[in-house]
Amino acid sequence: MARRGSTIDVEITEGAIRVRSHERVLTIVVAPPPADLEEDADFYIELDEIEFWDPPHDETAIEIDELQKILEAIEEQVEKHGLSVVFD
């Protein structure tokens, strides 16, 4: 379940999404959607929780342009499997 492309790989598991880029890893734990969410989604990701890479790169902030690429890669992988994602 990985997306091979430029430099970002996305792996979808039951409770998390794992992103790999340039030897760095980002594990995004999928949050339960809020009760008032109007969209129906298979994955709900809180953008405020995506700030730093996983250890040992946990002092490296994820820059805005990197975040945009990560979100696009996640969307592409999720859609490839007929699923949906909401970023909030």
Q: Is residue 1 situated within a structural domain?
A: no
Q: Tens-digit pLDDT profile for the chain (88 aa)?
A: 444 445 899 999 888 999 999 899 999 998 777 778 787 888 889 899 899 999 999 999 999 999 999 999 999 999 999 998 889 8
Q: Is residue 2 situated within a structural domain?
A: no
Q: Is residue 3 situated within a structural domain?
A: no
Q: Is residue 69 situated within a structural domain?
A: yes
What's the pTM value of the predicted model, to 2 decimals? 0.84
Range of the domain at 42: 8-87
Going by C-alpha positions, the residue among 46, 44, 50 that lies closest to residue 85 is 44
Q: Is residue 71 situated within a structural domain?
A: yes
Number of domain units in the chain = 1
Torsion (CA) 39, 52, 9, 80 in degrees, nearest 10: 0
